[in-house]
Amino acid sequence: MDKSFMIKEIKRLKEEKNTVILAHYYQDGDIQDIADFTGDSLYLSQVASKTAADTILFAGVHFMAETAKILSPEKTVLLPVKEAGCPMADMVTKVRLMSYKEKHPERIVVCYVNSTAEVKALSDICVTSSNAEKIIKHYQGQKMLYVPDKNLGTYLREKYDLDMEVWPGFCCIHNDLTIDQVEMMKLKYPNAKFIVHPEAKLEIVKIADFAGSTKGLLNYVIESDHDEFIIGTENGIIHTMEKACPNKKFHILTDNLACYDMKLTRLEDIYYALKDNKYVIEVEESIRLKAFKALDKMMKLS
């Protein structure tokens, strides 16, 4: 199908089916461009919880669509590619977390939103990379467990001197970044600021000029007086940055910064998802109610 015809059809179906399209910053540029809202995981959850549309089509990965369903159970939530998951979210399971909690009932479970509904349901509160620092301050002085991202957890523990155990999960994209890569890019672009997502290892975050969520990184480049940046997060964000700052230059730290799962979704998938109403996300009600509690606490403290 011709691309411009497909875009027209997507727009027509979207109106006809009263659907809002949400796209994460890591999606391909053409998908971000047809979305009603683009953003980081926190912002998109907020939009999902407030939308008046009947259907939410989530161009992202499974935990994001599932979070939208937990927050808006009365809506139909569609994930265009059913295989689009987040490997990090699968690094903590309900059974492993239950057995940890039996041994350490005193620890508050702080759960990164990159997690399954079952894991959220066993947690006291959720966080995203853009609100984790703010929320964690409410629990300072208490014993905590952070699941599943060891890097973001370690970053929080070191920065705020927390009594926090961290689960050994990680993002396969950000965890692979190395100091050598940063040094080589700094030699190549000596005037560029290096910015990174806190899912990278602490040693990388420590040498960055700025670390933050996808939205935080975007705000940084918009507000900065500098005009050249080395980007230490998934390459989809560069599309957004170039649109927001057409006169600034962005260099991706390494070509490996492409999330395989985020990049599974194509325009065709969006079209077929709208046309055939797929893939519908469901969350069992007893799990949803518990997961909602952890997410709702996060929303109130954000």
Query: Which residue ranges make up the site for ligand 13P (CB under 6 A)?
Result: 40-41, 114, 128-130, 171, 197, 199, 213-214
The partner residues of 230 in beta bridges, in order of sequence, read 194, 251
Closer residue to ligand SF4 in complex, CB, 107/120: 120
From the list 290, 216, 275, 288, the residue with the least C-alpha distance to 39 is: 216
Which CB, 185 or 200, lies closer to ligand 13P? Answer: 200
Q: Which amino acid is at 132?
A: A
257 lies in the binding site for ligand SF4 (CB under 6 A)? no
Which of 34, 48, 97, 262 contacts ligand SF4 by CB under 6 A? 262
Q: Using the rule CB under 6 A, is 88 a contact of ligand SF4?
A: yes
- E-assigned strands of the chain? 19-24, 37-39, 55-59, 76-78, 108-112, 125-127, 143-147, 163-166, 193-196, 210-211, 228-232, 249-252
Q: Which residues pair with 126 in a beta bridge?
A: 111
Which positions from 20 through 59 interact with ligand SF4, judged by CB under 6 A?
none
Q: Give yes or no for residue 127 binding ligand SF4 (CB under 6 A).
A: no
Is the C-alpha dihedral spanning 264, 269, 26, 62 positive or negative? negative
Which residue lies nearer to ligand 13P by CB, 39 or 269?
Answer: 39
Q: Which does 118 bind (CB under 5 to 8 A by kind): ligand 13P, ligand SF4, none?
A: none
Considering CB distances under 5 to 8 angstroms, the limit depending on partner class, which of ligand 13P, ligand SF4, none binds residue 7?
A: none
Query: How deeply is 3 buried, as exposed, middle or buried, from its count of CB atoms within 10 A (0-12, 13-18, 19+)?
Result: exposed
Site membership for ligand SF4, residue 87 (CB under 6 A): yes
Amino acid identity at 122: L
Binding mask 198-227 for ligand SF4 (x = CB under 6 A): -x----------------------------
As a residue count, the chain comes to 302
Span from 159-167, 186-194, 207-215, 259-267 in contact with ligand SF4 (CB under 6 A) = 259-267
